[in-house]
């Protein structure tokens, strides 16, 4: 009987479940949080909160030739996801170090501005065939039942965050936002802000972010999104026992 999920383990929040279902329909698992640290050939595991942790950033599988995706573009996802501020901060709370409580934001939405694209990929057979030629340390990482190999990544290069405020933005609030945007741009982050009204503004982040992936676990069997979620829960439960 599989262990029960640890209370508090990260699950797909209800606001992102429609997007997770869209990815599931194409055989991919949602990647939370959206970031740029996952690539095909990386080996990962779960921490005690059920979040993915990279344990090998392609050093073991760097020399395996990647396969070209037959169709680079997965497709467009045109539905926005709306969050209460608390739910948004739990997932995206460190966004550009902006203090959304100070801005008196009450809700946030995310939407994808461009089609989602597939990266080059590895197959389960690619990994299995490479295993015999790897060092023992790499063999241990790949065959560790707590780990999984990332076979392919889904990426977007533009994500829009829309925020609605409780009251009209104050001069101090706008100044705070401008300061954080300027700091992000100084760090070469491509971001723009657009005020729709005194109580609503959009942040558009034009950078490559991973939003989903295909994975394989022990015995190099591709993990379905459902199997991936179940494995996440098992690892979180095991870490908390």
Kindly compute the dihedral angle of the four CA atoms of residues 93, 99, 105, 107, in this order, to the nearest 10 degrees: -10
pLDDT at 7 (0 to 100): 29
Residues of the chain with pLDDT under 70: 1-10, 218-222, 232, 234-241
Phi, psi (rounded to 5 degrees) for 228: -65, -45
**Contact between 152 and 114 (Cβ < 8 Å):** no
**Distance between CA atoms of residues 66 and 56, nearest Å:** 17
pLDDT at 33 (0 to 100): 80
* Buried-exposed string 45-72: b where 16+ CB fall within 10 A, e elsewhere: bbebebebeeebeeebbeebebeeeeee
In terms of Cα–Cα distance, which of 227, 69, 76 is closest to 151?
69
- Count of C-beta atoms within a 10 Å radius of residue 4: 11
pTM, to two decimals: 0.79
Q: Give all strands (DSSP E) within 77-199, no chain letters.
A: 81-84, 105-112, 116-118, 148-156, 159-165, 191-197
Q: 136-140 long-range contacts, Cβ below 8 Å, gap at least 24?
A: 137/60, 138/56, 138/59, 138/60, 138/61
pLDDT at 90 (0 to 100): 83
């Amino acid at each position: 009987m599989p262990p029960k999920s640890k209370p508090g383990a990260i699950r797909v929040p209800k606001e992102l479940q429609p997007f997770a279902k869209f990815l599931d329909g194409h055989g991919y698992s949602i990647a939370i949080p959206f970031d740029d640290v996952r690539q095909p050939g990386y080996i990962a595991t779960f921490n005690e909160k059920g979040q993915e942790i990279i344990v090998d950033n392609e050093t073991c599988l760097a020399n395996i030739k990647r396969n070209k995706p037959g169709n680079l573009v997965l497709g467009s996802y045109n539905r926005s996801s709306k969050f209460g501020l608390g739910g948004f901060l739990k997932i995206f709370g460190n966004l550009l170090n902006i203090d959304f409580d100070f801005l008196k934001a009450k809700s946030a939405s995310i939407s994808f501005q461009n089609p989602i694209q597939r990266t080059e990929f590895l197959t389960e057979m690619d990994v299995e065939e490479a295993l015999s030629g790897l060092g023992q340390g790499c063999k241990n990482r790949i065959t560790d039942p707590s780990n999984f190999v990332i076979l392919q990544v889904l990426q977007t290069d533009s994500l829009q965050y829309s925020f609605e405020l409780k009251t009209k933005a104050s001069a101090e609030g706008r100044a705070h936002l401008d300061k954080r945007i300027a700091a992000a741009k100084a760090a070469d982050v491509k971001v723009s802000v657009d005020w729709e009204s005194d109580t609503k503004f959009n942040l558009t982040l034009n950078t490559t972010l991973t939003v989903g992936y295909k994975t394989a676990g022990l015995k190099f069997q591709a993990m379905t999104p459902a199997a991936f979620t179940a494995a996440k829960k098992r690892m979180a439960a095991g870490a908390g026992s």
